[in-house]
Amino acid sequence: MSTEVIAVITGDVVDSRTYRDHDYDSMLELLQVVLGEVKRTTLGSFDVFRGDSFQFVTSNIKEVITAALIIRLTMLIHSPSVEVRQSIGIGALTSRRENVKLSTGDAFILSGKGLESMKGELLAIHTLNETFQNNIVLLTRFLDVHLSKLKYAQAQALLAHIQHPKLTHKQLAKELAKSRVNTTQLLTASDYKLVDAYIHFFKSNLPKSKDLL
């Protein structure tokens, strides 16, 4: 029987202890909502634990980066803005349990240890494939820095584009309740084409499952 390869996001909320009770409850509610959204779109599963930490698992490994971006941007445009750290691990699944955080395998180890090793960054990807890893690390650092510099309206427009990649700027403008011109300006300022290029690079260069074991 072949070994299943999965993608795991282990994440937490930055400085969660500084939130007032109302803001903390609002943040936690939104986290549950966005995790539910990416669960539906990628046929994944998730757990939220210790109040400010979460783990998301999907067998649809090519879509994990899109899921991570949707989580990041959704939390970013929350009021007050919420920063989340996310460590993506892609590798073998040894044992799948109903409780996500009790499942085991290389993907969980890579993701969990990756989060522990993160210092100032908010997004990282970890695999056992040396070639892919060498290619994706620096690009991911650039993406991470870029996302951290986005202003609210830019992040909002970029999120809408990632969630609805086939919509035209005119259609996205309707979703955002903005003019088409303003929407195009915001998307351009968000460097959405470069973000699209990163997503395409990730998906097209991700090794076959057998090369991720």
pLDDT score for 102: 65
- Report yes or no on 152 lying in a domain: no
**What pLDDT, on a 0 to 100 scale, did the predictor assign at position 132?**
98
The yes-or-no verdict on residue 103 having pLDDT over 60 is yes
- Please give the pLDDT value at position 100: 73
Q: What is the CATH number of the domain that holds 68?
A: 3.30.70.1230
Residue 147 lies in a domain: no
Binned at pLDDT 50, 70 and 90, residue 104 comes out as: confident
In a domain, 161, yes or no: no
Render pLDDT for 130-177 as a digit per residue (tens, 0 to 9). Answer: 999 999 999 999 999 999 999 999 999 999 999 999 999 999 999 999
Domain count, the chain: 1
Evaluate whether residue 153 is within a structural domain. Answer: no
Q: Residue 84's domain spans which residues?
A: 5-129
Per-residue pLDDT of 14-25, as tens digits, reads: 999 999 999 999
Note whether residue 78 is domain-resident.
yes
With a cut of 90, say whether residue 30 has pLDDT above it. Answer: yes
Residues 56-85 have pLDDT tens digits of 999 999 999 999 999 999 999 999 999 999
Residue 211 in any domain: the answer is no
- Report whether pLDDT(96) > 80: no
HEC per residue, the chain: CCCCEEEEEEEEECCHHHCCHHHHHHHHHHHHHHHHHHHHHHCCEEEEECCCEEEEEECCHHHHHHHHHHHHHHHHCCCCCCCEEEEEEEEECCECCCCHHHCECHHHHHHHHHHHHCCCCCEEEECCCHHHHHHHHHHHHHHHHHHHCCCHHHHHHHHHHHHCCCCCHHHHHHHHCCCHHHHHHHHHHCCHHHHHHHHHHHHHHCCCHHHHC
Q: Is 145 within the bounds of a domain?
A: no
